[in-house]
Amino acid sequence: MNYLFPDDFWWGSASSATQMEGHAEGDGKGQNIWDYWFETEPHRFHNGVGPNHTSKFYEKYKEDIQLMKEAGHNSFRFSISWSRLFPDGEGEVNQQAIHFYEDVINELIIHNIEPFINLYHFDMPLALQKRGGWESREVVDAYVKYASTCFKHFGDRVKKWFTHNEPIVPVEGGYLYGFHYPAICDFKKAVQVGFHTILASAKAIEAYHDSRQDGKIGIILNLTPSYPRSQHPEDVKAARMADLFFNRSFLDPSVKGKFPEELVALLKKENFLPEMKEKDLETIQQNTVDLLGINYYQPRRIKAKEHLPNLHAPFVPERYFDYYEMPGRKMNPYRGWEIYEKGIYDILMNVKKDYGNIECFISENGMGVENEERFRDETGKIIDDYRIEFMQAHLKWIHQALKEGVNVKGYHLWTFMDNWSWLNAYKNRYGLVSVHLEDQYKRSIKKSGQWFAQLSKNNGF
């Protein structure tokens, strides 16, 4: 069977500044929380490899964009490094950063690759983290100034903007489970961080529309469907609670302009409501997204609590549900994640049914594999048929959703080239292009990159 997609479908990949730009002497970039965390606790990072050791896009972007074109991209989502543009998070703009991002945007356009820009991808400037990070109202204001600076300098050429990538992740990682800086466990702070993030997003959307630019601005959310173990009422309720905490907490205010009533009631009951100002909820209600990016990697399997929670322990969402390992699930053993392709269809159908069929696209989907060097053939090319099969299986379900009327506009793979991955460094590779670890300036297109070029050229497979 042939799977054909619309002529104007967005084919491309996604990346982030911290994960691929790297450092160059005298580039004027300020420290962000990752630079600082690696400096202070390098043992937390896989093989002691930190963010100073990324894939050199800052120096190699012209050649890399040429490779993007060869790998069939008509669009590419990257993020701007807040601490590169504003070394202290606010104040003086780093002109070298303005020139760098202008050059990247212009180079993409020369190659007929549409730039999609994301403003925040887990990389708080250290100077602002010291003032509280997203806990602080001042940081919300600094973010809006940063966003407005980007619109002013790049908005004439960039028509797809995103306020945040996976905003739930800094909440979970930084304030609940300890896998992002500042690595504390404090649900009250987590709620405040989440609220300020949504408020910052709404205020940036407001600033964008006030600037009378003619593009679209949205948000990118990792929407992970929660499947109950059974149809028993308590399993179903547990799955609903997981969905409320991890999906609807950001999806509802971003698209509908208001927080789910059930979540607000729960936070009130547990005494965790955030501090807010009088007009905040109005600002959120009036500044919803034009476009929704959806990141999908794996499902969430949920069951009712097996044991009563310890009410004296720090509050975490898992007080309301337990995770469930479904027998016979298909796994990516390297990442420890279940592969469930139909999840992408279920998310898209939910967006159609419950979120006004908002214009959306798959902004990340991908498969991380360890030690890919073992799959090099005699010519040096990595033969990653598993990645091609992974993409095909997900694209079949996206195609089905399209046939059923979902307003889905594109598919971006994570990621263009192998990159440094937060605490995991280069443990798992995700790229269509291989970055040679022995020489990070050297790249080669994998079999999946060649397949992706054909996919884009034929608008299907």
CA–CA distance, 298 with 317 (Å, rounded to integer) = 19
C-alpha to C-alpha distances, 347 to 150, 217, 353, nearest whole angstrom: 31, 21, 10
Angle between the N-to-C axes of helices 385-403 and 447-458, in degrees from 0 to 180, rounded to the nearest 10? 30
Active-site residue identified among 90, 114, 166, 372: 166
Contact between residue 60 and residue 441 where contact means Cβ atoms under 8 Å apart: yes
CA–CA distance, 426 with 437 (Å, rounded to integer) = 8
Contact between residue 166 and residue 224 where contact means Cβ atoms under 8 Å apart: no
Tell me, yes or no, if 364 is annotated catalytic. yes
Active-site residue identified among 90, 114, 341, 364: 364
> How close are the terminal C-alpha atoms of the chain, in Å?
9
Token couple for 422: 């937060």
- How many of the other CB atoms lie within 10 Å of CB of 386? 14
Tell me, yes or no, if 138 is annotated catalytic. no
β 160-165/322-323 pair status: unpaired
Active centre residues (catalytic): 166, 364
